[in-house]
C-alpha cells in the first residue's frame, strides 16, 4: 500500500578529518502524496543521491526529520524498496532466486510471493530467464530483474537511483514503459533520481529541480500530462516544451 513521504528541515553535512565539513544538502522541506511518482533532477554533486539515501535510511540526516507514513526514518525499512544504478544481482543465484532473496531473508517467502515474482518476470519479458544466471543476461535484462526484486514484497515506497543511466537509449525507453506498467499495476510512492530531464518528465507526476552544491531543492514542477503515458508522447511538442522549461530552470543561461 502506497504511503506518503514528509521531509522537514532536512540537511546533510559530511564531516571530514582533513578538511572543513562539506555541506552537501541545505535545509529541505518536501511532502509527497501516497502513490505519487516524483523525480529529482539537477547537476552532478547537487545532493540527489544523498537525499535518496537519507529517505532510504542508509544515511542519517544532519538536521531535520524524514517520515514515511507515520514512521520516522532512522534506519532502512522493510516497506521501502530500492533500485540502484547497477543491478547488484548475485552471480551464483538464478534470476528467480535473486528476485526472491529479500523475501527469503525477511522470512516472508511463500507460494503467493513466488507466484507474484514469476508473474512480474513474465510482465517484463524475463519469464524464460528465471532459471538462468545474471552473467548470462544483458545489462537491461539484469536491471529488469532488479526492479522486479524490489517490487515482489509490495513496498509502499520505491526509491530508484539512476536505474537506467548505464543503458542504451532504446533499452532505457523500453524499461521506462515497463516501469510505468508495473507502477500502474502495483501503485506505490516512487522517488526517482535521474540526470535525464526527458525521462523525469515522461515518468513523473512532479519533478524536483535541485541546484548545484550545496544542494538545494529550488523548485517543484507539476507535470500536466495525462496517464497512461504512451511511447508516442516522447515525440509530441508539448512534451518537449515541458522538458525545455525544466532545462532552463536548471541552467538559465541555456536558451536551447
- How does pLDDT run across 7-30, given as a tens digit for each residue? 999 999 998 877 788 899 999 999
Of the three residues 104, 121, 154, the one that is the final residue of a domain is 154
* pLDDT given at position 255: 47
Residues 97 and 138 reside in one and the same domain:
yes
Instruction: Assign 168 a pLDDT band (cuts: 50, 70, 90).
Output: confident
Cβ density class 107-136: b for 16+ within 10 Å, e for less: eebeeebeebbbebbebbebeebbeebbee
Residues 122 and 162 reside in one and the same domain:
no
Is the confidence at residue 2, as pLDDT, over 90?
A: no
pLDDT digits (tens, 9 = 90+) for 219-244: 999 999 999 999 999 999 999 999 99
- Average pLDDT across the chain, whole number: 92
Instruction: Assign 154 a pLDDT band (cuts: 50, 70, 90).
Output: confident
Residues 224 and 130 reside in one and the same domain:
no
Residues 150 and 161 reside in one and the same domain:
no
Q: How far is C-alpha 98 from the chain's CA centre?
A: 19
Sequence-ordered list of residues with C-beta below 8 angstroms from that of 236, at least 6 positions apart, any chain: none
17, part of any domain: no
Residues 169 and 142 reside in one and the same domain:
no
Is the confidence at residue 143, as pLDDT, over 60?
A: yes
Is the confidence at residue 170, as pLDDT, over 80?
A: yes
Give the 3-state secondary structure of residue 191. Answer: strand
Of the three residues 154, 182, 210, the one that is the final residue of a domain is 154
Residues 100 and 194 reside in one and the same domain:
no
23, part of any domain: no
Q: Kindly state the average pLDDT of the residues 109-128.
A: 92
Residues 144 and 119 reside in one and the same domain:
yes
Q: Kindly state the average pLDDT of the residues 208-216.
A: 89
pTM of the model: 0.91
Residues 233 and 108 reside in one and the same domain:
no
Give the 3-state secondary structure of residue 88. Answer: coil
Residues 46 and 94 reside in one and the same domain:
no
* pLDDT given at position 18: 75
Residues 164 and 249 reside in one and the same domain:
yes
Is the confidence at residue 108, as pLDDT, over 90?
A: no
Query: With the C-alpha atoms ordered 183, 189, 192, 198, is the resulting torsion angle positive or negative?
Result: positive
Instruction: Assign 186 a pLDDT band (cuts: 50, 70, 90).
Output: confident
181, part of any domain: yes
Tell me how many domains the chain contains.
2
Is the pLDDT higher at 34 or at 105?
34
98, part of any domain: yes
Instruction: Assign 67 a pLDDT band (cuts: 50, 70, 90).
Output: very high
* pLDDT given at position 256: 47
Of the three residues 154, 179, 211, the one that is the final residue of a domain is 154
68, part of any domain: no
Residues 132 and 96 reside in one and the same domain:
yes
12, part of any domain: no
Is the confidence at residue 49, as pLDDT, over 90?
A: yes
Highest mean pLDDT among 15-19, 45-49, 140-144, 189-193: 189-193
Range of the structural domain that residue 108 is part of: 89-154
36, part of any domain: yes
Query: pLDDT over 90 for what percent of the chain?
Result: 72
27, part of any domain: no
Whichever domain contains 214, its CATH number is: 3.40.50.300
Residues 43 and 166 reside in one and the same domain:
yes
Amino acid at each position: 500500500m502506497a504511503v506518503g513521504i514528509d521531509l522537514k528541515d532536512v540537511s546533510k553535512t559530511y564531516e571530514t578529518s582533513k578538511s572543513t565539513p562539506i555541506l552537501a544538502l541545505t535545509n529541505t522541506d518536501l511532502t509527497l502524496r501516497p502513490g505519487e511518482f516524483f523525480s529529482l533532477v539537477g547537476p552532478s554533486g547537487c545532493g540527489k543521491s544523498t537525499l535518496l539515501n537519507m529517505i532510504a535510511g542508509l544515511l542519517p540526516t544532519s538536521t531535520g526529520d524524514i517520515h514515511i507514513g507515520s514512521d520516522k526514518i532512522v534506519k532502512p525499512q522493510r516497506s521501502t524498496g530500492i533500485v540502484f544504478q547497477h543491478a547488484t544481482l548475485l552471480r551464483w543465484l538464478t534470476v528467480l532466486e535473486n528476485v526472491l532473496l529479500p523475501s527469503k531473508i525477511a522470512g516472508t517467502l511463500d507460494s503467493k510471493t513466488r507466484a507474484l515474482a514469476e508473474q512480474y518476470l513474465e510482465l517484463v519479458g524475463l519469464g524464460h530467464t528465471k532459471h538462468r544466471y545474471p552473467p548470462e543476461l544483458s545489462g537491461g535484462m539484469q536491471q529488469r530483474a532488479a526492479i522486479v526484486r524490489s517490487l515482489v514484497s509490495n513496498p509502499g515506497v520505491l526509491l530508484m537511483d539512476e536505474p537506467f543511466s548505464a543503458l542504451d537509449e532504446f533499452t532505457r525507453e523500453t524499461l521506462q514503459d515497463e516501469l510505468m506498467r508495473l507502477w500502474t499495476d502495483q501503485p506505490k510512492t516512487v522517488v526517482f533520481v535521474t540526470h535525464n530531464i526527458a525521462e523525469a518528465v515522461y515518468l513523473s507526476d512532479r519533478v524536483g529541480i535541485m541546484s548545484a552544491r550545496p544542494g538545494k531543492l529550488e523548485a517543484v514542477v507539476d507535470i500536466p500530462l495525462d496517464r497512461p503515458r504512451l511511447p508516442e508522447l516522447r515525440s509530441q511538442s508539448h512534451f518537449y516544451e515541458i522538458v525545455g522549461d525544466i532545462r532552463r530552470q536548471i541552467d538559465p543561461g541555456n536558451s536551447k
